[in-house]
Amino acid sequence: MADENLNDTKNIDASVGGTLFERYFTGRNEASLVAPNTLFMTADYVNLTAFETADGLLLVDTGMVAAGPKVFEEIRKRTDAPLNTVVFTHGHLDHAFGLAPWLEAGEKPRVIAHENVARRYRTYMKTGPMNVHINRVQFGIEADITWPQRDEDFFWPDTTYRDSLTLHLGGERFELRHAKGETDDATWVQACDRKIVCSGDLWEGILPNCGNPQKVQRYPEEWADALEAIAAVGAELLLPGHGQPLEGADKIRTCCLNTAEALRAIVSQTLEGLNAGWTHEDILASIKIPEHLTGEHYLDPLYDRPEFIARNVIRKYGGWWEGFSSQIMPAKMASQAAEIARLAGGAAALIARARELTDSDPALACHLAEWAALAAPEDREAQQCVIDVFTKRAEGEIALMGRGLLSHAARNAEKAIAALDSTG
């Protein structure tokens, strides 16, 4: 791999707006030289980095199963250096499952990851159907989804570490450090002599994905710790697991520290509410990103929302009871909806009011539409109301997870209408 022709550095961090798709799509579906002996590419919205050293390649992440052949092909177009070491930044399916083409080609790398990656794999083996369901709901996937559930479906690390690990390859030093953030098995990699950091999912150029409503505990305080640690090393180039790279030590430091500040603000506001004995809904309504940070594009809630992150803080420090005594042992939602409809004079009244509030109070309109459909599941007008109200709200929702869950209600209503039509 040549040291010259740094042909893509002019495009680094070019995107400062747009949709989640536009932020995640770097345009590097071909492996590009972004620094001397440093290849960077995107494969199905996941970024990979290959450092060429005198001892061979250090590959940071391998992508998804389907992307593995493309990653292998693209890197092999640029270098024939043997694959010495693979580092998984965490054990998610989009980062750690594309190694097969390398092994099939006869490569014999050591595979390094944090010790919690193996535990994640074992959890995946227990919860395959649940994870399939979660992804169907979140992304609206109707096609068949496969989920790894057998030992042979995983690339198990042969070297693990707990807090940090130093690698020496070809006379260069690479530092691996553990962090908690989106996961509890995260690793960020510092190429010390190159002044490059591979951040995994700790930096993505959007508000951190730290509150997913369907996923396990996430760690905003520890995520802030990691961002502050990354800011402190003085890297000149940050190569993320998703999204656009960052170039320049000052910019990297500012972006990481500002993101850490936003996370800490969410945590402190949530704890303030918990300590004051507020209900969860009052806590969530109080959450705000500090005003001086609200114009920073890299804090846009394109995937997650601040109040979703606050819910994870509540879960970490408190219980699941939201503060209303009727909710501690509640009646089923269908029973509540039936009684509300009876008091309103029937589902039709709920439908009419939901449509009336669709623009002025979409959150309340969604409650009314859902109650109508639960109270009268065989009423086509009720199901159509759900489709219309939830779709309209989803269209105005910026966060992918919020949009996905709202759209899920509309999809379920469409299926209910189809089932009604099939039975006459």
Task: Reduce the secondary structure of the chain to three states and give it as a string.
Answer: CCCCCCCCHHHCCCCCCCCHHHHHCCCCCCCEEEECCEEEEEECCEEEEEEEECCEEEEECCECCCCHHHHHHHHHHHCCCCEEEEECCCCCCCCECCCHHHHHCCCCCEEEEECHHHHHHHHHHHCHHHHHHHHHHHHCCCCCCCCCCCHHHCCCCCEEECCEEEEEECCEEEEEEEECCCCCCEEEEEEHHHCEEEEECCCCCCCCCCCCCCCCCCCHHHHHHHHHHHHHCCCCEEEECCCCCEECHHHHHHHHHHHHHHHHHHHHHHHHHHHCCCCHHHHHHHCCCCHHHCCCHHHCCCCCCHHHHHHHHHHHHCCCCCCCHHHCCCCCHHHHHHHHHHHHCCHHHHHHHHHHHCCCCHHHHHHHHHHHHHHCCCCHHHHHHHHHHHHHHHHCCCCHHHHHHHHHHHHHHHHHHHHHHHCC
Q: For 108-155, write each residue's pLDDT tens digit.
A: 999 999 999 999 999 999 999 999 999 999 888 887 888 999 999 999
Q: Would 299 be classed as within a structural domain?
A: no
* Distance, CA of 165 to CA of 110 (rounded, Å): 14
Closest CA to 219 of 183, 268, 270, 258: 183
Q: Would 252 be classed as within a structural domain?
A: yes
Of 222, 239, 262, the residue at which a domain comes to its end is: 262
Q: Would 413 be classed as within a structural domain?
A: yes
My answer on whether 83 and 209 are in the same domain is yes
Closest CA to 71 of 51, 42, 97, 33: 42
Q: Would 231 be classed as within a structural domain?
A: yes
My answer on whether 373 and 250 are in the same domain is no
| Length of the chain as a residue count | 424
| Domain CATH number, residue 415 | 1.25.40.880
Q: For 146-166, write each residue's pLDDT tens digit.
A: 899 999 999 999 999 999 999
Residue type, 120: R
Q: What is the pLDDT of residue 18?
A: 67
Neighbours of 164 (CB within 10 A): 11
Closest CA to 242 of 174, 309, 304, 294: 304
354 touches 382 (CB < 8 A): no
My answer on whether 44 and 135 are in the same domain is yes
Residue type, 251: K
397 touches 403 (CB < 8 A): yes
Neighbours of 116 (CB within 10 A): 20
Closest CA to 70 of 104, 30, 33: 30
Provide the number of structural domains found in the chain.
2
Closest CA to 382 of 333, 342, 341: 341
Q: Would 301 be classed as within a structural domain?
A: no
| Domain CATH number, residue 169 | 3.60.15.30
In this structure, what are the phi and psi dihedrals at residue 174, rounded to the nearest 5 degrees? -125, 125
Q: Which residues pair with 40 in a beta bridge?
A: 32, 49
Q: Would 216 be classed as within a structural domain?
A: yes
Q: What is the pLDDT along the chain (424 residues), one digit of tens a residue?
A: 544 333 333 333 334 456 777 777 666 688 999 999 999 999 988 999 999 999 999 999 999 999 999 999 999 999 999 999 999 999 999 999 999 999 999 999 999 999 999 999 999 999 999 999 999 998 888 878 889 999 999 999 999 999 999 999 999 999 999 999 999 999 999 999 999 999 999 999 999 999 999 999 999 999 999 999 999 999 999 999 999 999 999 999 999 999 999 999 999 999 999 999 999 999 999 999 999 999 999 999 999 999 999 999 999 999 999 999 999 999 999 999 999 999 999 999 999 999 999 999 999 999 999 999 999 999 999 999 999 999 999 999 999 999 999 999 999 999 999 999 998 6
My answer on whether 179 and 30 are in the same domain is yes
Look at strands 110-114 and 83-87 and give their pairing: parallel
My answer on whether 115 and 244 are in the same domain is yes
96 touches 117 (CB < 8 A): yes
Range of the domain at 90: 9-262
Of 205, 230, 262, the residue at which a domain comes to its end is: 262
Q: What is the pLDDT of residue 26?
A: 60
Q: What is the pLDDT of residue 44?
A: 86
Q: Would 313 be classed as within a structural domain?
A: no
Report, in angstroms and rounded to the nearest whole number, the Rg of the chain calculated over CA atoms: 24
Of 244, 262, 280, the residue at which a domain comes to its end is: 262
My answer on whether 234 and 379 are in the same domain is no
* Distance, CA of 350 to CA of 337 (rounded, Å): 10
